Amino acid sequence: RRPAGALGGQPVVALENCQEVFVSDCCALPGTPVFLGVSGAKTKGIHLAGNDFTGAAQPVRRAKEVSAKALNR
């Protein structure tokens, strides 16, 4: 069984121009390339809590237009 996104390097969860999202209690399977991808200049208030991203090569991929302040870990 392959983890989601393993073939194309896509994130398991993709958020674009989202606001006030809470990502909680998620687990990245070993071999996951990217767990969470965030994009869009309007993205803000992305809250991460209680997740286990140790199986992901890149836990979070933030597009250049997304402010670093948009993610609350």
Look at residue 69 in the predicted model and tell me its pLDDT: 96
Token readout for 64 is 């250049």
Res 6 pLDDT > 90: no
CA distance 36 to 52: 12
Average pLDDT over residues 9-21: 95
As a whole number, the mean pLDDT across the chain is 93
pTM assigned to the model: 0.89
CA distance 26 to 63: 21
Residues with Cβ within 8 Å of 3's Cβ and at least 6 positions away in sequence, in order, are 12, 28, 29, 30, 31, 32, 55
